[in-house]
Structure 1
Amino acid sequence: MGNDAAGECRVQHWRDVVAVAAGNVHSAPNTGKSHTVGLRSDGTVLAAGWNGDGQCDVAAWRDVAAVAAGWRRTLGLLADGTVLAAGRNAEGQCDVRSWREIVDLACGDWHSVGVRAGGTAVAVGNNRRGQCDVDSWRDVTAVAAGYLHTVALKNDGRVLATGVCDVEPWEDVVAIAAGSYHTLGLIAQGKVLASGDNTHGQCDVGQWHGIVAIAAGSTHTLGLRADGSVVSTGDNSHHQCDVDSWSGIRMA
């Protein structure tokens, strides 16, 4: 669902997909300059949407274990812990060839973040608000990135943040997600925490329950319930929140 001006919603023919990612377009809203990426079970990658910076040039990728998408950029985590990148690199956000032992990654609008097997983090790209200042982080298991901030989940259920973000009080978190200006945390009890900009209601998640997975777009939020249904809140100007009829959805 959502804006299909560049064909980013034309994924109906995709098959054998085990994970998906969508590029945020905070920097150019409503321009149709976004894209969607899908990871197949055989380690190959699909892409649809705007390709002005080559962010959809991923057909030759092989042995990919995870994908991430940002503004005009796609990252692919290989089975050997190295990372591939395609797309815009004006701020150095695709300078990931030297990364090793990566187990998780995320794309912000203008920066890229990775988690190493030892629980440390690495980041490249725009650092205007300190969103790449992650060298001191330890015991990290997952990362998420927004427009001007980066968040990390620690193995004790606490959340680290750098840039424009306030998540210090959060505890018992099992998953995180980041939109352009808001951050989400899923706690073990199936409830969702939110912090940041709420102009479009993207942080109105206090009544959600039974949630097993979360995702954040630029200005909207999605939650997957244990029964396979989906809840949403936030900006719906392109019908990106029209998911009430979805059922049988499973975690990637």
Structure 2
Amino acid sequence: MRVDGTVAAAGDGAAGECAVEGWGDVVAVAAGSVHAARNTGRSHSVGLRADGTVLAAGWDAHGQCQVAAWRDVVAVAAGWRRSVGLLADGRVVAVGRAAEGACDVAAWREVVAITAGDWHTVGVRADGTAVATGVDRFGQCAVQGWGQLADVAAGYLHTVGLRRDGAVVATGRGDAGAGDVAGWRDVVAVAAGSHHTVGLLADGTVRAAGADDHGQCAVGGWRDVVAVAAGAAHTLGLRDDGSVLTAGDDAHGQRAVTGWRCRTG
């Protein structure tokens, strides 16, 4: 997302998920997660406009791009085969595949942050507690005991919570080490990929834990970072000068961001 409200995209684009050239007045973006082992051509992108309406592009086999009627949205998230929107009044809406329960958010109230993994959806309430729905085979929805949360991030089979004191908690499948975040401190933002977790520290440096088979955790030298994002097997960092750092898998051109100058606010 550029400072002028336009959007740039890189990657496979086979399903039209990179067709965002005409988007404008956008204040937030989200990309549908696709586990690294899956075929490409099954992804979508979502954009939140300043007026609270939502745009979507890409794979729509389950209706995950049917967001044109949404209003008063203040945040968006995109999972595999679904889109999630946080409304100004704290309610949550979702469209897309409902079979696994990841879209069962209609009863949620007083939510202030949302995230969407491949198979589950998680929200943070105003009181700092969390709520989750969807597949819980590996305990990725076991967030009931969490408190004092500021934000959350959902990956393929794990969930990460950022506490207001800068500490990080995790639940779910941890065989690749994506949940090894117990010692992290002074974190101001978190992101979750398929099997790795990324944390942005207050001093602008970045930490990562979990699978590193594509070098997606090679972020130790990053500096002056103000935002982070994690794809299936790659990691992005937005620097305070608007440039973008990348690490990890580039098989589909998802790291082809040289020359981008994006929003830093």
Which of 193, 196, 201 does residue 187 from structure 1 map onto?
201
Contact residue 112 and residue 123 of structure 2 kept, 8 A: yes
Is 2:55 the partner of 1:41? no
2:194 counterpart letter in structure 1: S
Q: TM-score by structure 1 length?
A: 0.98
1:36 counterpart letter in structure 2: S
Contact residue 86 and residue 92 of structure 2 kept, 8 A: yes
CA distance in 1, matches of 2:169, 2:206: 17
Is 2:111 the partner of 1:102? yes
How far does residue 32 in structure 1 lie from its aligned partner after superposition? Answer: 0.3
2:27 corresponds to: 18
Which of 130, 141, 144 does residue 135 from structure 1 map onto?
144
CA distance in 2, matches of 1:35, 1:15: 17
| Secondary structure, counterpart of 2:161 in structure 1 | strand
| Secondary structure, counterpart of 1:11 in structure 2 | coil
Which of 224, 232, 238 does residue 218 from structure 1 map onto?
232
1:157 corresponds to: 166
CA distance in 2, matches of 1:31, 1:156: 38
Which of 40, 61, 66 does residue 70 from structure 2 map onto?
61
Q: TM-score by structure 2 length?
A: 0.93
Aligned CA-pair RMSD = 1.0
CA distance in 2, matches of 1:44, 1:29: 30
- Is the alpha carbon distance of 1:27 and 1:195 closer, same or farther for their aligned partners in structure 2, counting shifts above 3 Å? closer
1:250 counterpart letter in structure 2: R
What pairs up with 1:162-181 in 2 under 5 angstroms? 162-163=171-172, 164=174, 165-181=179-195
Is 2:263 the partner of 1:250? yes
Q: Encode CA deviations 1:1-58: one digit per residue, 9 max, x unaligned.
A: 0011000000000010000000011176333010000000000000000000000000
CA distance in 2, matches of 1:161, 1:25: 20
Which of 198, 204, 221 does residue 207 from structure 1 map onto?
221
How far does residue 168 in structure 1 lie from its aligned partner after superposition? Answer: 0.3
CA distance in 2, matches of 1:29, 1:39: 27
1:81 counterpart letter in structure 2: G
- Same amino acid, percent of matched pairs: 64
Contact residue 239 and residue 264 of structure 2 kept, 8 A: no
1:76 corresponds to: 85
1:235 corresponds to: 249
How far does residue 243 in structure 1 lie from its aligned partner after superposition? Answer: 1.1
- Is the alpha carbon distance of 1:90 and 1:27 closer, same or farther for their aligned partners in structure 2, counting shifts above 3 Å? farther
Q: What are structure 2's unaligned runs of at least 5 residues?
A: 1-9
1:242 counterpart letter in structure 2: A
Q: What are structure 1's unaligned runs of at least 5 residues?
A: none
| Secondary structure, counterpart of 1:99 in structure 2 | coil
Which of 3, 7, 30 does residue 16 from structure 2 map onto?
7
Q: Encode CA deviations 1:112-168: one digit per residue, 9 max, x unaligned.
A: 000000000000000011000000001001000001100000010000110121100
Which of 32, 41, 56 does residue 32 from structure 1 map onto?
41
